[in-house]
Amino acid sequence: MRPRTIRTGDVRVCHLHINPAYAQQDLNSVLPVARLDELAALGEIGASAPSHYSHMGYTLRPERFLRESVTGIVRHLREERDDVVVVVPV
Amino acid sequence: MCCWSVGLVQRDIEAAGFSTISLSMIPELTASAGAPRIAAIEHPFGVTLGRPGDAAGQLAVLRTAVRALEAMLTPGAIAHLPFDWTSREREALFRSAGRLRRLGRRCLIVFEGSRDLVSNWGCERLYSPIRHDRDALARRTHLTNHHNRNPCGLNGRQDRVRSVWRDGDQQRARRNQFQRIKRERTANRAGFGKHGNVLANDPKPETGGRRQLEEPRREPAFRRIVHRVHDVADIGSRESRTHDTDAGVNQETSGPRQKIGINLAPQPFRLLLCEDRGALDGHTACQ
């Protein structure tokens, strides 16, 4: 879980199948937190959610992931009264 | 997360009562996980929203994805975003990959374009550049040819030794099976109009389709969010779950909203605002 204030350089991006250098250079290439704030400033959305979420892919046996992690994400979304979720693969 | 995990996560979040949309570089793979709405984009892996530093491009992709969410009416719809990876950007990616290759063993090589990112872990060398065969995805040979190992149909050496079709009964039946799936999926696609307006040529859903839900058209975009959750467990049926945040309504329904007493009268919009409503659709402009 990442706060809305996260910016490039606050996190380290690692991946074995793709090039993580671009996300390392500009986090908004994959996690557009700054772009969400800009859309909110333009009045096109109400506000960016207080928290954002990231998890690794290539989950060949996703049962436990869906049962525990996604359930936790949904709980946080409800607590923060979010409306719309944009899911971005890397 | 990968394009398949995106669909899994999105499906569960949508079922929990949120409106969701996923970007995807392989929309067919994301759709196979049961994603309710997909915004297909022709960007390479690792730069889904756009090039590093290209704030305007990233903003345009995100804005179009949010608007596409409002435009989609049928579960499983795929909207192809009007963004392409230009030759200039491809060249920049090529140069960047060249620098990466000099850095160490575990790095990436970029051969041609968007889907040609291949791991060079262990210094394994491919014998020829991988061909960017987008037609292979359209023909779905990656599904029908068992000699392919990669779901994208980009397999390096294996691409060169693809087996020849023997048109036996089993092969013909299998090919016809996937061709049938292709026709059904393309019928649900929400395309962009001549001027890039996602609402202008919003396709009228076919009656009696496998994924068809009999519901009235959603309220105009960005005036008020009315969650219409596609029930993923029963995505082919006519039942759906309606969750109205503003009215506090959350109930199961199997018919038009007017019949079950849900008030669709316009109310002040709380979270999502759109000043530039005229750019969305002149016919469904917000009041």
Tell me the backbone φ, ψ of residue A69, rounded to 5 degrees.
Answer: -70, -50
Cβ neighbors of B94 (< 8 A, separation 6 or more) are B110
Residue recorded with tokens 């207080």: A50
Is B113 in the same domain as B164? yes
Question: Does residue A74 lie in a domain region?
Answer: yes
Going by C-alpha positions, the residue among B55, B58, B54 that lies closest to residue B66 is: B58
How far apart, in whole angstroms, are the C-alpha atoms of residue B39 and residue B18? 17
Does the pTM surpass 0.90? The reply is no
Q: What is the pLDDT of residue B58?
A: 93
Among B181, B215, B235, the domain boundary falls at: B181
Average pLDDT over residues B14-35: 92
Is B103 in the same domain as B175? yes
E strands along A31-70, which residues?
51-52
Chain B contact set for A63 (CB, 8 A): none
Is B162 in the same domain as B105? yes
Helix, strand, or coil (residue B61)? helix
Is B53 in the same domain as B102? no
Give the number of domains in chain B: 2
Question: Does residue A60 lie in a domain region?
Answer: yes
Is B128 in the same domain as B98? yes
The per-residue pLDDT of chain A, averaged, comes to: 90
- Both structure tokens of B188: 């649900």
Closest CB from A16, A26, A77 relative to B121: A16
- Domain of residue A17 covers 2-79
- Domain of residue B10 covers 3-82+192-279
Residue A1 has pLDDT above 90, yes or no: no
Residue recorded with tokens 């946080």: A76
Residue recorded with tokens 């996560």: B9
Question: Does residue A85 lie in a domain region?
Answer: no
B204-249 pLDDT, tens per residue? 544 444 444 444 444 444 433 344 455 555 444 444 444 444 444 4
How far apart, in whole angstroms, are the C-alpha atoms of residue A49 and residue B125? 44
Q: What is the pLDDT of residue B146?
A: 41
Q: Do A59 and B12 touch (CB under 8 A)?
A: no
Question: Does residue A87 lie in a domain region?
Answer: no
Question: Does residue B287 lie in a domain region?
Answer: no
Q: Do A43 and B271 touch (CB under 8 A)?
A: no
A43-47, A82-86, B80-84, B218-222: lowest mean pLDDT where? B218-222
Among B181, B212, B234, the domain boundary falls at: B181
- Both structure tokens of B273: 């605002």
A85-89, B25-29, B30-34, B259-263: lowest mean pLDDT where? B259-263
Is B144 in the same domain as B8? no
Is B75 in the same domain as B117? no
Going by C-alpha positions, the residue among A56, A70, A73, A68 that lies closest to residue A13 is: A56
Kind plus residue range of the DSSP H or E element containing B240: strand B240-244
Q: What is the pLDDT of residue B159?
A: 42
Say whether residue B63 is in contact with chain A using an 8 A CB cutoff: yes
Q: Do A45 and B273 touch (CB under 8 A)?
A: yes
Is B103 in the same domain as B157? yes
Question: Does residue B197 lie in a domain region?
Answer: yes
Going by C-alpha positions, the residue among A15, A35, A10 that lies closest to residue B1 is: A15
